[in-house]
Chain A
Amino acid sequence: MKVDVVVIGGGAAGMAAALKVSEQGARVVLVERDERVGGILNQCIHNGFGLHYFREELTGPEYAERFKKALEEKDIEVLTNTFVKALDVREKKLVVVSEDGIRILETKALVYAAGARERAFGSLMVPGDRPSGIFTAGVAQRFMNVENRLPGKRALILGSGDIGLIMARRLTLEGVEVVGVVERLPYPGGLLRNVIQCLEDFGIPLFLSSTVVEVRGRERLEEVVVAKVDENFQPIPGTEKVFEVDTLILSVGLIPQIELLEDLVEVNPTSKGIATSNLGQTSIEWIFAAGNCTAIYDLVDYVTYEGEMAGKYAALYAKGERFGPKVAVKAGENVMVVQPNWYDPSEELTLYVRTRKVIEKGRLVVGSFEKTFEELVPSEMLRVKIPRRHLNGLSEIVVEVKEE
């Protein structure tokens, strides 16, 4: 099969990218490993999506359904239950596998939109037994919201990111007793609104500056030991507390999924995702990337915008346009994550910035651009458009947040 653009991944970024490619009049095929498109949105049945992009509040499945409908209306070819096995960078060919066997896709440009993976229990090095009953939040969410299965009866949640908080509410609503949410930082990882409507509404305790130090259980989880931690996240002896639970839910972070490309393209050192320009272009000029495989975004709306950008420029590339040169974007003082990695003046620079710590009042400085923000927290990402005139003549763009 010969196309102009292949899009890998049918989540929010991939669907937006495929639609943009088709809008540019280029031929696109979307490859999705699941049985349907929509990605993680399909299992995020809570609301709060779409306020920026659609100017209304939607649930995850509703947000996904708008794009699914558009893909159908535009008659965009979607290969579901299909996995990309290999990529031939020189020949611009992809080997894909599905029930029908192996197929080769020949393309002119690629949009990689593979999303993220959850950090798993094994990577936390928690001492103790290895019983059943330990789930990542996303797996528990899929069980409950898609497959109609409850993970257990009495649960503790490790990690207070938004997924952890939302799962605390979801479990409680379905009759699972949630004994608490454990967070190693001195402040919650998720949005304040979720602390209120997911924990406080249901009287679920939040244990800050604490972590899980041991799990016990023969076949099924029986006990989880929680202890306070010091400022270096080291458990403080004597502060241990034992929770009798059959379920431990982990919400301890997302990792950009980059396997297919990691040895081929440059990686963003701040996000550990695929490095891209503000056009979505990677260090290999015919490969574009967007969404959570480039950096973990706070809002799906942002993922959609970036997916559209990558789709547009992949289509233009396939038609023979070339872009550049690019200027490097680097993280400076107090900046933990900055996306994108390069600035291409073909488009205005939209920056996504996560600070390294809580900052009461901070001044974002980018070239000659300055803007002051209040109450900056690492869990809430800034999205800022930097007008071109502030970046003229720079050989390198350093993004800094100065404390005031």
Chain B
Amino acid sequence: MSALKRLVCVQCPLGCKISVELSDTNRILSIVGNRCPRGEEYARDELENPKRVLTTSVRVLNGEYPLVSVKTNKPVPKSLIPELMKTIRNLKVEAPIECGSVLVEDVLGTGADLVATRTVRRAKG
């Protein structure tokens, strides 16, 4: 006996509808419906260890704006997101910040870096 599990890939806005065929011991037998390799990876992760890219923002000191937007540069385990948010909430970084610069390496041991997604210059005056 095998079971079918239906997923919608969240890796990009195309939202492929993926069907995963599972054996009675929950082993993945086949993955169909994905239009790219990221979909297969997503389906595997979603059943074994769901992951998401986390996007949020970090407090900036002496910047032209009070916040810099950030992302994890790869998906991180969904279960760690609340703890990651706690860590990020206590973070403060000094302007200037370049878009793409790493603010925290290997954040909480996830293997993902926390990366700035905009440039914030230093406040004038």
Interface locus among A46-54, A97-105, A209-217, A359-367: A46-54
Give the distance in Å from the alpha carbon of A193 to the alpha carbon of B59 in the complex: 29
Docked-complex contact A51 and B66, CB < 8 angstroms: no
Kindly state whether residue A299 has any CB partner on chain B within 8 Å: yes
Minimum CB–CB distance from B35 to chain A (whole Å) comes to 12
Give the distance in Å from the alpha carbon of A138 to the alpha carbon of B98 in the complex: 25
Docked-complex contact A145 and B69, CB < 8 angstroms: yes
Cβ-closest 5 pairs across A and B: A61-B118, A45-B69, A193-B10, A148-B66, A59-B117
**Whose C-beta in chain B lies nearest to the C-beta of A41?**
B118
Please indicate the chain B residues that have their CB under 8 angstroms from the CB of A61 in the complex: 69, 99, 117-118
Interface residues of A in 165-179 (CB under 8 A from B): 173-174
Please indicate the chain B residues that have their CB under 8 angstroms from the CB of A62 in the complex: 99, 117-118
Docked-complex contact A146 and B55, CB < 8 angstroms: no
Give the distance in Å from the alpha carbon of A148 to the alpha carbon of B12 in the complex: 27
Kindly state whether residue B13 has any CB partner on chain A within 8 Å: yes
**Whose C-beta in chain B lies nearest to the C-beta of A43?**
B69
Interface residues of B in 34-68 (CB under 8 A from A): 52-53, 55-57, 59, 65-67
Q: Which B residues have a C-beta under 8 Å from some C-beta of A?
A: 8-15, 52-53, 55-57, 59, 65-67, 69, 71, 78, 81, 85, 99, 117-119
Docked-complex contact B85 and A196, CB < 8 angstroms: no
Minimum CB–CB distance from B31 to chain A (whole Å) comes to 17
Docked-complex contact B55 and A47, CB < 8 angstroms: yes
Give the distance in Å from the alpha carbon of A346 to the alpha carbon of B13 in the complex: 31
Q: Which A residues have a C-beta under 8 Å from some C-beta of B?
A: 42, 45-48, 51, 57-62, 64-65, 145-148, 173-174, 191-193, 196-197, 201, 298-299
Give the distance in Å from the alpha carbon of A130 to the alpha carbon of B77 in the complex: 42
Docked-complex contact A191 and B69, CB < 8 angstroms: no
Please indicate the chain A residues that have their CB under 8 angstroms from the CB of B56 in the complex: 45, 173-174
Docked-complex contact B67 and A146, CB < 8 angstroms: yes
Docked-complex contact A59 and B13, CB < 8 angstroms: no
Question: A61-B99, A191-B15 are contacts. A45–B8 as well, Cβ < 8 Å?
Answer: no
Docked-complex contact A193 and B69, CB < 8 angstroms: no
Give the distance in Å from the alpha carbon of A193 to the alpha carbon of B17 in the complex: 10
Docked-complex contact B13 and A193, CB < 8 angstroms: yes
Please indicate the chain A residues that have their CB under 8 angstroms from the CB of B117 in the complex: 45, 58-59, 61-62
Cβ contact of A46, chosen from B14, B55, B85, cutoff 8 A = B55
Task: List 12 additional contacts besides A57-B12, A201-B52, A299-B13; criterion CB under 8 Å.
Answer: A45-B55, A45-B57, A47-B55, A48-B12, A59-B69, A60-B69, A62-B117, A65-B119, A146-B67, A148-B59, A148-B67, A196-B10
Please indicate the chain B residues that have their CB under 8 angstroms from the CB of A193 in the complex: 8-10, 12-13, 15
